[in-house]
């Protein structure tokens, strides 16, 4: 643990999810591959789509509608729908099938193994602070077995932009009724979490459990953690 600024009083803590409370990389890889295989085997309309083809379609949709960059769930449903449309499926059925596949994708994407240490940290902190999730992802938090620890679970979409935009941070502060300077945000990403928190006036704890050099950061957090459990020493 290394400090870069004095924290001051902390009255609430917010958490990123993916790669902060658990390792998301194998989870999303498995979910993406499931989607490609399922679409190829189930729908002749997308039998020729591989990962690259789906990614090109997603990029094209985001270029056409930049708001989709801030709503990963809506973007994926549109991507599935347009993939089916491009293969000749009628619009009404394509929308219906896209919703079905997306729901199954979310289930696969939410098959996460949460480390026991993470659960212990949250259980302890929840007895002392209001805890909030602000995530850019769309994991089903109730599937993680952690949702009972959090007073609010905030995700982008419906007009709210992704971190590091101020939308989710400000929404959290309003819901908690606290000034940003009294809320500590914990996350692994140096842009969405560290820069997002600092630029919006929040305290920032950077979870650097992969040994990155802090000297390369353009914006320093208030504190750098190498293990999530260090939070219990901090607050």
Q: Which sequence positions are flagged as catalytic?
A: 16
Beta strand 2-3 pairing with 12-15: unpaired
Kindly report the number of other CB atoms within 10 A of residue 59's CB atom: 11
Residue holding tokens 């400000």? 170
**What token pair was written down for 90?**
């009628």
**What token pair was written down for 39?**
């679409």
Q: How far apart are CA 18 and CA 141, in angstroms?
A: 11
Instruction: Give every CB contact of residue 212 below 8 A, 6+ residues apart in sequence.
Output: 190
**What token pair was written down for 102?**
């997306």
Around 189, how many Cα atoms within 13 Å sit in the side-chain half-sphere?
19
The residues facing 206 across adjacent strands are 187, 224
Total count of residues recorded for the chain = 235
């Amino acid at each position: 643990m290394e400090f870069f600024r004095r924290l001051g009083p902390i009255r609430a803590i917010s958490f990123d999810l993916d790669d902060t409370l658990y390792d998301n990389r194998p989870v999303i890889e498995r979910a993406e591959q499931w989607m490609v295989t399922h679409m190829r085997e189930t729908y002749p309309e997308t039998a020729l789509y591989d990962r690259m083809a789906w990614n090109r379609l997603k990029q094209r949709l985001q270029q056409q509608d930049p708001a989709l960059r801030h709503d990963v769930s809506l973007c994926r449903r549109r991507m599935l729908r347009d993939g089916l449309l491009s293969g000749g499926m009628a619009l009404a059925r394509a929308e219906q099938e896209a919703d079905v596949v997306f729901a199954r994708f979310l289930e696969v994407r939410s098959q996460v193994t949460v480390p026991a240490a993470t659960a212990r940290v949250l259980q302890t902190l929840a007895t002392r602070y209001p805890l909030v999730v602000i995530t850019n992802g769309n994991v089903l938090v109730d599937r993680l077995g952690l949702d009972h620890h959090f007073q609010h679970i905030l995700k982008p979409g419906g007009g709210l932009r992704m971190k590091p935009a101020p939308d989710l941070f400000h929404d959290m502060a309003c819901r908690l009724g606290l000034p940003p300077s009294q809320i500590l945000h914990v996350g692994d990403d140096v842009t969405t979490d560290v820069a997002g928190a600092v630029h919006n006036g929040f305290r920032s704890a950077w979870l650097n459990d992969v040994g990155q050099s802090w000297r390369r950061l353009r914006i320093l957090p208030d504190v750098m953690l190498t293990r999530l459990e260090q939070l219990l020493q901090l607050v």
